[in-house]
Amino acid sequence: MRFFALQELANRRPLEVNIPSNKLSDYYGSHVFDRKKMQEYLPREAYKAVTNAIEKGTPINREMADLIANGMKSWAKSLNVTHYTHWFQPLTDGTAEKHDGFIEFGEDAEVIERFSGKLLIQQEPDASSFPNGGIRNTFEARGYTAWDVSSPACVVDSTLCIPTIFISYTGEALDYKTPLLKALAAVDKAATEICQLFDKSVNRVYANLGWEQEYFLVDLALYNARPDLCLTGRTLMGHSSAKDQQLEDHYFGSIPPRVTAFMKELEIECHKLGIPAKTRHNEAAPNQFELAPIFENVNLANDHNQLVMDLMKRIARKHNFVVLLHEKPYNGVNGSGKHNNWSLCTDTGINLFSPGKNPKSNLLFLTFLVNVLMMVYKNQNLLRASIASAGNSHRLGANEAPPSIFSIFLGKQLSGILDEFASHIDSKQAGIESKTTLKLGIGRIPEILLDTTDRNRTSPFAFTGNRFEFRAAGASANCAAAMIAINAAMANQLNEFKASIDKLMEEGLNKDEALFRALRQAIIESEPIRFEGDGYSEEWKQEAARRGLSNISHVPEALTHYVDNQSRAVLIGERIFNETELACRLEVELEKYTMKVQIESRVLGDLALNHIVPTAVSYQNRLLENLRGLKEIFSPEEYEVMSADRKDLVRDISRRVTAIKMQVAEMTEARRVANHKDNFKEKAYAYEETVRPYLESIREHIDHLEMEIDDEMWPLPKYRELMFTK
Ligand code: ADP
Ligand code: MG
């Protein structure tokens, strides 16, 4: 398999990619049912109904729905579309869709093409095969998908895709989009109230997301020759290559032509779908790349990320690549994350994480900044739960990865300004009220930020001038999980902050003084979350422990913090989930974790026993033959000298083969015991504590054997082949 794959690889050539037009605007958004197309294809009143629904949340009545569906169908047919699908985001990785044709029987049983408002607005896919954490009884397998008007329909692969939410028959969310929309509404409401302390004209606050999708490409033939990659998305074995990322020559280096062709086509398809793909570059590891669009509002940005992950997989195949979205496909080299750049912006056009031009607007900026500090400080465990997964745990908290500690990097100067602010005892002293002279540095913030170019790459939550960059999210994750946590937690924090100001004002303080006191207290209280140093260092682990910050690398334990008191105060308190939904969320996550480790463990066991052990034994036989030959020909004295190293090798191979066989048997037994646990939590804990360690220890023996055994005999493509070939 391996050599066949390498031969195929030698014959690969870059594919030709046709650019639809030299002018991007000729085809940008051509496959999106956007406002321009709505105006063209919808009667006036139907157009109004959609825009009202988008802007004000007004319901769309049946008559209008029919008109909209009809217009949508006409537009879709202009792109030769025959099918439509309600596209949704179940709690598995990726998206789900069920395709239906526009075909129907008319009154006289004749075939007609139809797409009614009813079909546009709501559907009932069989939900029983999606994870639901026990929400639905088996006899009631129905779930609903309902159109999310705020994200436009589009045409992907000749199918009309209608973005939808997915809820159970009893009304509980079974997807990522439903709670995301709730979290966004919650942060909108809470942030607007705070803004109104400064500016009454603010009516809405939008959250923005700019994601950066990292991924690896691997040649299709080599991928197919690695059962572990095919079945688990990562390599479960493989000795590190003699050269990997040490030289860092790959980062920003030139991109191989086959890869460029893939990227070009991917970008064209993104642009047709109105996804503003902007940057592409090599990442730290060989054959690792990144795609980042211009930021958009969170809901749309997240739909676009889901579409992109899908597009990537499909287009990669065409170019004889497989895209790996796993967080750690290869041990020993950089993993893949998905940085979430997050900001809040008012309907009056003010970025709340961007310092303004005058002291008053800087105070608004400072207010939001300080509330982010508090939000992260209080919700470290919820944030961690939102990104914890089997795959991501290799990126965070594992041996060669940064620790799983949350901290915020602000930059020294901005951090200094906060300290200075908090050192004053009242707003007068701090100079808040004075319009002309400013004692503290609030007035200097814009200049200072221009200087703050030292972007700390090791911080999991970094302030980068006009946004926060949440770097802990994994490459394969749905950004919604992190965005639900962050926006809900921010809503909760802002609500508490507002309540504390109200209380101080009730006690007789004026608004400025109340604001000052609340800010000062938050700055002091949240101080432990600020960290400017190396987030990957051993000292930080100790320092963080002294500061009382949590550091949890045990995945199921990290997940169970979804239901700790603080997380419940946020998620249930802000009405993002109800009790049942939250319990289900946790159950689904624990179950996903268990299944992933279970599959990895089975695959490793199989490969060890039927690929590795037989190869090791064959090679050992060759060594034994060699030893017998030497003994026959040479004198006993000569033989002793000549055979010593080979005998050692035979011994070592024997020792490792025995260890592998024993450990595979033990691991199978550990799995059996774990499988008998009768609740999700215990099962996940058992997999983490008793099964998972074998993945490491078995692999270690295999990786040694890889170095000992003749390269010609090794059955699986090696790291150097997977990572360096074009
Ligand atoms: P880097 O790799 O240096 O972090 P990139 O250019 O790869 O930077 O990605 C930055 C991402 O941040 C882009 O998706 C960009 O659109 C996004 N971004 C920029 N400004 C904001 C903002 N105010 N809010 C949210 N995202 C933003
Ligand atoms: Mg980044």
Q: What's the CA gap between 115 and 104, in Å, rounded?
A: 9
Quote the ligand 2 centre to 452 CA distance (angstroms): 16
Predicted pLDDT of residue 357: 72
Predicted pLDDT of residue 435: 40
Q: Which residues surround ligand 2, an ion (CB under 5 A)?
A: 212, 339
Two tokens, residue 109: 């049983």
**CB atoms inside a 10 Å sphere around CB 284:** 16
Predicted pLDDT of residue 189: 97
Cβ atoms of residues 49 and 64 within 8 Å: yes
Quote the ligand 2 centre to 363 CA distance (angstroms): 27
For residue 281, the ligand 1 atom closest to its alpha carbon is: 7
Quote the ligand 1 centre to 314 CA distance (angstroms): 26
Q: Is 292 in the pocket of ligand 1 (CB under 6 A)?
A: yes
31-175 with 592-724: one CATH topology?
no
Instruction: Report the helix count and the strand count for the chain, using DSSP H and E.
Output: 27, 17
Predicted pLDDT of residue 214: 96
Closest of 362, 335, 255, 269 to residue 28, by C-alpha: 269
Q: What's the CA gap between 115 and 58, in Å, rounded?
A: 22
pLDDT per residue as tens digits for the range 454-485: 567 888 999 988 999 999 999 999 999 999 99
CATH number 3.40.50.2300 given to 31-175:
no
Cβ atoms of residues 680 and 591 within 8 Å: yes
Two tokens, residue 478: 């749905």
Q: Which ligand is nearest to the CA of 293?
A: 1
**CB atoms inside a 10 Å sphere around CB 394:** 21
Quote the ligand 2 centre to 305 CA distance (angstroms): 15
Q: Can you give the C-alpha Rg of the chain in angstroms?
A: 29
For residue 292, the ligand 1 atom closest to its alpha carbon is: 14
Quote the ligand 1 centre to 433 CA distance (angstroms): 34
Q: Is 279 in the pocket of ligand 1 (CB under 6 A)?
A: yes
Cβ atoms of residues 166 and 570 within 8 Å: no
For residue 290, the ligand 1 atom closest to its alpha carbon is: 7
Residue nearest to atom 13 of ligand 1 (CA): 210
pLDDT per residue as tens digits for the range 167-220: 887 788 989 999 999 999 999 999 999 999 999 999 999 999 999 999 999 999
Q: Is 295 in the pocket of ligand 1 (CB under 6 A)?
A: yes
Helix (H) or strand (E) holding 289: strand 288-293
Q: Is 208 in the pocket of ligand 1 (CB under 6 A)?
A: yes
For residue 351, the ligand 1 atom closest to its alpha carbon is: 23
Q: What's the CA gap between 343 and 211, in Å, rounded?
A: 12
Dihedral angle computed from the Cα positions of residues 167, 171, 176 and 177, in that order, rounded to the nearest 10 degrees = 80
Question: Pairing state of beta strands 277-282 and 103-105?
Answer: unpaired
Helix (H) or strand (E) holding 345: strand 338-346
Q: Running DSSP on this structure, what letter comes out for residue 443?
A: G
**Pocket residue to mutate for ligand 1, from 251, 295, 342, 344, most atoms within 8 A of Cβ:** 295
Cβ atoms of residues 369 and 530 within 8 Å: no
Helix (H) or strand (E) holding 492: helix 479-506
Say which CATH class 592-724 falls into: mainly alpha
CA angle at 424 for the pair 419 and 427, rounded to the nearest 5°: 120
Task: Please provide the size of the chain in residues.
Answer: 726
Q: What's the CA gap between 643 and 461, in Å, rounded?
A: 58
**Pocket residue to mutate for ligand 1, from 300, 341, 353, 372, most atoms within 8 A of Cβ:** 341
- Residues in the chain predicted with pLDDT less than 50, given as ranges, are 136-141, 434-441, 451, 453
Predicted pLDDT of residue 725: 63
Predicted pLDDT of residue 242: 76
**Where exactly are the structural domains of the chain?**
31-175, 184-577, 592-724
Q: What's the CA gap between 502 and 93, in Å, rounded?
A: 43
For residue 354, the ligand 1 atom closest to its alpha carbon is: 23
Two tokens, residue 414: 């901005």
273-277 contacts: CB < 8 A, separation 24 or more? 273/29, 273/31, 273/32, 273/154, 273/156, 273/304, 273/307, 273/311, 274/28, 274/29, 274/31, 274/32, 274/34, 274/152, 274/154, 274/304, 275/304, 275/307, 275/308, 277/308
Predicted pLDDT of residue 450: 52
Q: Is 297 in the pocket of ligand 1 (CB under 6 A)?
A: no
Predicted pLDDT of residue 452: 53
For residue 341, the ligand 1 atom closest to its alpha carbon is: 26
Give start and end residues of each alpha helix (H) in 257-395. Answer: 257-272, 298-318, 359-378, 380-387
pLDDT per residue as tens digits for the range 240-267: 887 666 555 555 567 789 999 999 999 9
Helix (H, G, I), strand (E, B) or coil at 456: coil
Choosing among 3.40.50.1100, 3.40.50.2300, 3.40.1280.10, 3.30.590.10, the CATH entry for 184-577 is 3.30.590.10
